[in-house]
Structure 1
Amino acid sequence: MLIRKAHCTIAFLCALLWSHWAMAETTLRIAMTASDIPTATGLPNNGFEGMRFLGYPIFEGLVLWNLSGTDRLATLRPGLAEKWEQDPVDNKTWIFHLRQGVKFHDGTDFNADAVIWNLDRYFNSESPQFEPPSSAMSRARVPVMGSYRKIDDATVAISTTKPASYFPYMAVYLLFTSPASFEKAGRDWAKVATLPAAGTGPFRITRIVPRQEADLARWDKYWDTSKTAKVDNVVLLPIPEANSRLAALRAGQVDWIEVPPADGVDSLKSAGFTITTGSYPHVWPWFYNIGAANSPFKDVRVRQALNYCIDRDGLVSLLNGTAEPSVGWLKASDPDFGAPVNHYKFDPTKGKALLAEAGYTSAKPLAFKVLISNSGSGQMLPLPMNEFLQQNLKEACGVDVEFDVIEWQVLLTAARATPDSSTLRGAMALNISSPSSDAGVMARYFLAANFSPNGFNFEQWKDDEFEAALKTISEATDPKVISAAYRKAHERLVDDPPWLYIVHDLNPRAMSPKVKGFVSPQSWFVDLTLVSVQ
């Protein structure tokens, strides 16, 4: 009898433990490269890493990225708008038809009023909800924003300041927060981030601890039931130092790290960790400060010279093959790369000859300062990479480069400074990794209308042939005409370079073998709903 009772007790305990295990929540822990938690009011800072983790998973736009595939550049898909079209009688106006029945995480309705309220938050400095930091980012990402109006509860019209065929590729960066979040926080955006704020995405924020972690939970009432998240919780941890991220993964403190140190990749593979890489629209350059009063980069020969002076293959070796050489804004294999006159490669003889033509010799070497970060979104491993370039430029072409290392978000802010601003501390270049995904991004980075501080053309670069090509892209409807103009525009970016093109990142991540279902899309962003932890 005692034995029977013992067996019964053991069976009961086993069943209880099994039930507990089966119902145990799953948590995905991610180490970001950011040094702080991106802002959590609905439009995060810290570049596209902020959008990747504290943006799209929680807050959504009228237009979203399709992140389900790996075989081509990510395309757009309907988000909080079921569909959109250009007004047939006004090619500067877009009509967005809103998805019905969507609610924010706080239970309030998403509708046209919420759209207008958020657009006022970004673009109307007289509105009570105006948020200057989010406005600065939004105005830079959507420099053609004009007017907007509610047509009815399910329809809004947005007009651009000029025709822009690529406007949906800009609208994807405008995310929507519940107006009730602002009211609940006493109309104080600083307090909105601690509520936490409510979005419409597949995850909701449950806790923010500045500089420590952000906690997300699956939103079981998500409007797209086909994309209900597979994990219960996500914990986001800012760990800017690469070897610290590596140590955290090895110790089991995190399940996923962004950008493992290059010299740790092979050992991670040997230990059974998963390393993912993949092509995506990314370029890791130096932005030339062409507009500064005494800038050496006003001379195109100097800008071209440095593109011949750098040893891209050597840098790729340093990175253990997690990047590939960049000889333009687009990859050389891209069908829209075009046929520029300059074919950049490591050619110190040509580089020194161009520098000499511009007046820089061993007796009068080119010397300048570059602002760089110690980490950040898409920055890969900026300290060793920049040290390599510093030595490379000195040895190959006699160029003296000085670095000023600042925090990533400060560096991003510097990109919107005017050329001689004191915030640049005399820098003649900025090292900021950047997207190269579509004509909308090309327009906001390089059109003369987007000179800093109004837009992302930090260099204050202007090329008449480029301007003409972008005008064609903006106004044309024939895909062949648009593609030909896109190629022409890119040829000008190579031959009249506003940037020093260095490498394209291959988006490396390291993960515990417990992490399943991850897709590495050709995008800066990822779909966390696909991921499970076993």
Structure 2
Amino acid sequence: MTLRRLLLAAACAALPAAHALEASAQGTIRIGMTAADIPLTHGQPDQGFEGNRFTGIPLYDSLTAWDLTRGDRATPLVPSLATEWAVDANDKTKWIFRLRQGVKFHDGSDFNADAVVWNVRKVLDREAPHFDPRQVGVTATRMPTLRRAERIDDYTVALYTSEPDSLLPINLTNLFMASPAHWERKRAAAASAEAAWNAFAADPSGTGPFRMSRFVPRERAEYVRNDAYWGNKARAERIVLLPIPEANARTAALLSGQVDWIEAPAPDAIPQLRARGMRIESNAQPHVWPWQPCFAEGSPLADVRIRKAINLGIDREGLKTLLGGLMVPAVGTVQPGHPWWGNPSFQIKYDPEAAKRLLAEAGFGPQRPLSLKVQISASGSGQMQPLPMNEFIQQNLREIGVNVEFDVIEWNALFTNWRRGCKDPSARGAHAINVSFAAMDPFFAMVRFWDSKMAPPVSNNWGHFSDPRFDAMVAEARTSFDATARDAALAKLHAAGVDEALFIWIAHDVAPRAMSPRVRGFVQPQSWFVDLTLPYIQ
């Protein structure tokens, strides 16, 4: 028996036998996630965007949403619980949102303007009785200009920002609406607001297309179709989510029939999966798998020559081969031809000799090799195959005279550290952090990293990058309410970012998933997210 077969057999044995019993349940889709735990279910998920994908969007709705029904185009922003919105012509810090009428939470209470105000307060108003600090870090950092909400009438709200921000409607895809009435019932039986949120998480109430039917932390979450959903009803009767962070274990679970669908299969297992009749889904998506540099005093990556050298020292085509072709080499946050590409002069490619020359200019060479420490995870949402990928890069950089040490920590801890910054003790002296990110909108792609006001704890400027030129370019993009003008400002910003090598750009994921042929109706959009109302079991 080969080593791979032994690993698969052992992984199968390690999974609870009860999972196999659900295979005969009509209309049940069982999904093996990369997360080591079920993402938070109280309305603002953790575990990166795998949380939004599996415990956010299925259980809850936001005011705005992404159209995930097609795979042949970029995902557009569409109305969800808000039917229309506009910025005030006389006050660009005020937005008016008209709300969808007739929507019910899972507990039967009404969605209305009061519910929107309540959900904004849960993450922004420390004086609110239902304020939950655990939800702040995974929400406020994704919409940092939002300050408050005000009820105008039952189905109209005003949202106020700290400065003119044309990106607010996009940012609001991350604020999920939980039921105030359901929380109040939990609070009446709980000793504290924190205890009420814990009870809510075990029995959540949103407005989404699925309802929670069973929840076992670190083991499983089970959903049933919400037949009272205001939108298109889900085709599957039930969804079962299982945290399986190890790639071989996920593969084993699929091959043994314990699950119907796995996220991020191991690349070397794909031929075997295909040979067994499994379907491999993938698509280009706005995703970046980088090293994000620390710009603090004393960090070698504060030197643009070193950042450029590292970018030139990585063999991305070789990495693509390692991954079985399941990546796109990254030469920036977006690819050439994208409206935000611009015209950067620095060309990211594999050129080890040029890398060595830049390192020599910075004072490093065979007699004085550069040492770097990078904080990484062993798995996680969007992290692809972080251990083999980082080991491949480590070998690349050793060949140009750079010694890399890895600090490997659990994914959710890494994601939390990302919001604390490289000056925080949690960085443990790391010069870079390896957290993949979504680039489907300007804030997520660039603004939160290159605006000095986004330094921790505000958002994800982990490296404490600060440059007045970039602050001005960000402000120009944020205050451009015309889409064409905003794209032009973003193209200028992106080109400047590439020219300064503000990231070590490595890969774009293509979101590989492996599925049983029994799963039908699935659409792989150009997004980190998927629409779980579409697939079903034949």
Residues 279 and 517, structure 2, Cα contact 8 Å, conserved in 1: yes
1:481 and 1:85 map into 2 onto residues whose CA distance is 18
In structure 2, the partner of 1:17 is: none
In structure 2, the partner of 1:285 is: 290
Aligned residue pairs, count = 508
1:339 to 334, 339, 343: 343
Which amino acid letter does the alignment assign opposite residue 458 of structure 1?
Answer: W
TM superposition shift of 1:490: 0.6
TM superposition shift of 1:530: 0.5
Corresponding position: 1:222 with 2:238: no
2:197 and 2:485 map into 1 onto residues whose CA distance is 47
2:271 to 266, 273, 277: 266
TM superposition shift of 1:496: 1.1
TM superposition shift of 1:469: 2.4
Of stretches 273-282 and 440-449 in structure 1, the one that deviates more from structure 2 is 440-449
1:475 and 1:155 map into 2 onto residues whose CA distance is 24
- SS of residue paired to 2:392: helix
Corresponding position: 1:204 with 2:211: yes
Of stretches 68-77 and 522-531 in structure 1, the one that deviates more from structure 2 is 68-77
In structure 1, the partner of 2:532 is: 528
TM superposition shift of 1:199: 0.3
In structure 2, the partner of 1:439 is: 442
Structure of larger gyration radius: 1
Residues 251 and 266, structure 2, Cα contact 8 Å, conserved in 1: yes
TM superposition shift of 1:445: 2.8
Residues 45 and 138, structure 2, Cα contact 8 Å, conserved in 1: no
2:422 and 2:516 map into 1 onto residues whose CA distance is 44
2:220 to 184, 202, 213: 213
TM superposition shift of 1:471: 1.8
In structure 1, the partner of 2:163 is: 162
Of stretches 417-426 and 277-286 in structure 1, the one that deviates more from structure 2 is 417-426
Which aligned segments of 4 or more residues in structure 1 are displaced greater than 3 angstroms? none
1:259 and 1:193 map into 2 onto residues whose CA distance is 30
Residues 320 and 326, structure 2, Cα contact 8 Å, conserved in 1: yes
1:456 and 1:189 map into 2 onto residues whose CA distance is 29
Cα distance change of structure 1 residues 116 and 380 upon mapping to structure 2, 3 Å threshold:
same
1:308 to 290, 312, 319: 312
In structure 1, the partner of 2:8 is: none
1:491 and 1:424 map into 2 onto residues whose CA distance is 29
In structure 1, the partner of 2:237 is: 232
TM superposition shift of 1:526: 0.4
1:81-116 CA distances to partner (integer Å, 9 max, x unpaired)? 111111121111111111111110001111111111
In structure 1, the partner of 2:249 is: 244
- SS of residue paired to 1:297: helix
2:150 and 2:328 map into 1 onto residues whose CA distance is 45
In structure 2, the partner of 1:13 is: none
TM superposition shift of 1:419: 2.5
- SS of residue paired to 2:290: strand
Of stretches 370-379 and 133-142 in structure 1, the one that deviates more from structure 2 is 133-142
1:150-178 CA distances to partner (integer Å, 9 max, x unpaired)? 11111110011111111111011000111
In structure 1, the partner of 2:60 is: 59
TM-score, normalised to structure 1, is 0.93
Please list, as runs of the form range in 1=range in 2, the aligned pairs for 1:135-534 lying within 5 A after superposition: 135-185=136-186, 186=190, 187=193, 188-224=195-231, 227-291=232-296, 293-395=297-399, 397-441=400-444, 442-534=446-538
Residues 131 and 189, structure 1, Cα contact 8 Å, conserved in 2: no
1:244 and 1:131 map into 2 onto residues whose CA distance is 35
2:482 and 2:94 map into 1 onto residues whose CA distance is 19
Of stretches 40-49 and 473-482 in structure 1, the one that deviates more from structure 2 is 473-482
Of stretches 30-39 and 63-72 in structure 1, the one that deviates more from structure 2 is 63-72
1:195 and 1:508 map into 2 onto residues whose CA distance is 30
TM superposition shift of 1:269: 1.4
TM superposition shift of 1:274: 0.4
Identify unmatched segments of 5+ residues in structure 1: 1-22
1:200-231 CA distances to partner (integer Å, 9 max, x unpaired)? 0000111110110000110000011xx10011
For the aligned residues, what is the CA RMSD?
1.4
TM superposition shift of 1:194: 4.7
TM-score, normalised to structure 2, is 0.92
Residues 286 and 440, structure 2, Cα contact 8 Å, conserved in 1: yes
Residues 183 and 197, structure 2, Cα contact 8 Å, conserved in 1: no
TM superposition shift of 1:193: 4.3
Cα distance change of structure 1 residues 34 and 24 upon mapping to structure 2, 3 Å threshold:
closer
Residues 516 and 533, structure 1, Cα contact 8 Å, conserved in 2: yes
- SS of residue paired to 2:342: coil
- SS of residue paired to 2:150: strand
